[in-house]
Structures are given as structure tokens and as C-alpha cells.
Amino acid sequence: MVQQRVLMAAGANQFVFNCTPQVKNFLLAEGTDPKYGARHLKRAIERHLVFPLANLVATGQVKLGDFIRVDLLGESKLTFVKEAEGAMVPVLLERYGAAAAVPAVAQARAARPIIQRKEFGAGSLNENK
């Protein structure tokens, strides 16, 4: 559901992300309660996944076609690792056509692998490690 929201977003902010099984289990544990069930699951996903990803996009750390892997560090800290830049641009163009028009800067960086991966911690989004 979150990935669909990202892909349907207007402009050049479409990217692809993948959560590890540990992240999915963490979000499920954070968002469920024996008494209330999964009522808080949406809030947990937004708080731990959507808001940090939105901050990365807003600060320009994640751009069109990037592939982000979301992993769990320790017991409660999500990390966001950029695995590739511009890797998904051809797929986005094929699927969404003009709606995913590639700016000149994005074309220059299209489908090039990351030599040094950038890891973003959920707690310190403005700091690159």
C-alpha cells in the first residue's frame, strides 16, 4: 500500500523500497495489540516508515528511481540504505509514461549502481553515515 502511494505520487519523487522480514515483524509488533487488534498498524507504519521516507525525499537524499532497502538495526531502529540510484527509471517510465518524466539530472544518473552505499538512520535523517 505504501509503495503504491509512492509510485502514484506526482513529480520526480518516485522510488522503490523493500522492507526486510525483520522490519515487517517489527511493524506488526508495534501496530498490533491483544486488546485492540491491528487498529494502530497504520499509525505504526506511518510513524516508522512513511514519515522517515518522506523526510529523505524532502531533503533530496532519495530521488527518482532510487532503490531503498529498509532494515532493522537493533530492536527498534529502522535504517534506510540506498542500494541503487535511478535503477527503476525505465520501469517507472514504462508503467507511468509521461507522468514519470525523467528530468535531465535524473537521466544522467539513471541506472548507475551505488559505489558507496548511503545509510540513513530513522533517528537522524539529516546525518549521512
pLDDT in tens, 8-67: 664 667 788 889 999 999 999 999 888 888 888 999 999 999 999 989 988 989 888 888
Cα separation values, 22 from 6, 9, 64, 76, 115, Å: 22, 27, 26, 10, 26
Q: CA angle 114-118-122, nearest 5°?
A: 145
Distance CA 100, CA 102 (A): 6
What are the structural domains of the chain? 2-121 (1.10.8.60)
Give me the pLDDT at residue 111, please: 47
Per residue in 87-114, pLDDT (tens digit) is: 766 665 565 554 444 443 444 444 455 5
Which residue's C-alpha cell is 509503495?
3
What cell does 40 get? 494502530
Distance CA 99, CA 55 (A): 22
